[in-house]
Structures are given as C-alpha cells and as structure tokens.
Amino acid sequence: MIHSLYQNLADFPVVTRMHKREEATVISENIQYAITTSAEQRKQVYGLRYTCYRRQGSIEERADAQFSDSFDEKPNSFSFLVSSRDQALASVRISVVRPDLGWTDSPVQHVYGDHPAFQEIAHASFVESSRLCFDQQARRDTFVRLVGHMAALAEFYDVEWLVACPRVEHSGVYQRIFGFRELAPPRRYFGVNFETQLLGIRVAELRNHVRGQRPMMAAWSAALTQLMSSPPAPMLRAS
C-alpha cells in the first residue's frame, strides 16, 4: 500500500512516514506537468488554490471560488499545473527575478523586502516558489517533481538563488530534503493569513545537496529537458 508523504496541503507539506521504495516511484504516464498557457488551465490552477487555502481557513470565502493575485499576470511568473485526465492535482507558481530582463518583482519582496538577508539575494537573481498547493492527497514524488521544475527554471534562466516561504511549521521539510537555510524570522505572507519562514539556497548548493538523491536529480533533469525541447512560454517571455 502506498502512503502519501504529504496530506491535505494548503501551501507547503506536512511530513508523514514513507517507505524507501516509494521514493523512487515513477509518475504515472497519465499525470502531466505543464506551464499554464490557456485561460482554462489558469482557471484550474486558481480553483485548486482556492480549495486548498479555504480548507485551512487561510483566505476569505469568494463567490467565484478562485484564488489569484496580481503576480499571476506578471510576465516573470510561471504557474505549473499537475493534472490527470483534466483533473487538477497540484500547482506551484514560480517567479523569476532577473533585473537585466526587466523582471524585478515577486511576492517575497512585499514580505521581506526590508530584510538584509533578502536584499543580498535581490541584488543578484533568484526564483521564488509560491502558491504551492495540492488536491485532497499529495505525494512525495509529485512534490519532488515540482521542486525539480523550480530548480530547472532557475538553471534555464541562469539565476543564482532559489527562495521559498513555507509555513513556519513546514520549513524543516525544505531544509532536510533540499538543504534550504532559514534566512529571516517568520512574517505573514502575501495574500494569506499565516506566517511563513524565509528560506533560500544557491543553485550550486542545491545541486550539491541533492546529488545523491536520484528522484530529485531525475526530476530536475527531466524538467530542464522539457523546458529546452518545448519551451513556448519561457522562451517567448525571455525574448
């Protein structure tokens, strides 16, 4: 019997136990990972977000049952949708900050913009993951694949840092599995009613940390190959 590593997540995961064999589980061919490019895909993402965040009372009720914000419309934001047979299973938004491309804003800057640790990162370049959410059940392999897409986008755009702001009680997951470090005390995150922890890691440090983790290395490589071979959204936005 396969148990989920993460259950009923609204933003970042809660850890339970998992057998070693499950860590190498291959994603079903019916499950697709894609950058949203259509109105229908975005509607699926916003609906999934709303369900996840309302589940834990993290946002107010909305008549349209959709949860989005101004960053979803920015050219440096990429929302990934995990789906199976037209059912949304998970999603994460990744913002790319590279001043030389004119991409200078992301949610974390409105939370930790005055903190010296973040300002050091902001003077370089980074990707930030936000609005990570899952359907009723979440799996470790799905979560790792999404972080793999974050790492791949960081490499694709040649940025220095990866940044995440998980709930305080979930920050240990990122530190243990991927080597993220705590950079600042908790603060309330953009658009929700809970506090988050600023975490960060350099791309080179991440690669070194996960070098022996076959699922993560495979996820990173597959995501980068996908971006390089059929990158309509990222390539258009970089032009």
Angle at 216 between CA 48 and CA 192, to 5 degrees: 30
Pairing mode, strands 77-84 and 87-97: antiparallel
Tokens linked to 239 = 């032009």
Look up the pTM and report it.
Answer: 0.84
CA angle in degrees (0–180, nearest 5) for 20-21-27: 120
Q: What are the chain's domains?
A: 6-238 (3.40.630.30)
Q: How many Cβ atoms are within 10 Å of 227's Cβ, its own excluded? A: 20
Q: SS3 for 21? A: helix
Is the Cα torsion angle 93, 182, 198, 201 positive or negative in sign? Answer: negative
| Residue 95 near residue 76, CB atoms below 8 Å | yes
CB 225 within 8 A of CB 157: no
pLDDT of residue 31: 84
The one-digit pLDDT tens for each residue of the chain (239 residues) are 222 333 333 343 333 333 333 333 334 458 889 899 899 999 999 999 999 999 989 999 999 999 999 999 999 999 999 998 888 999 999 999 999 999 999 999 999 999 999 999 999 999 999 999 998 776 788 899 999 999 999 999 999 999 999 999 889 999 999 999 999 999 999 999 999 999 999 999 999 999 999 999 999 999 999 888 865 545 544 44
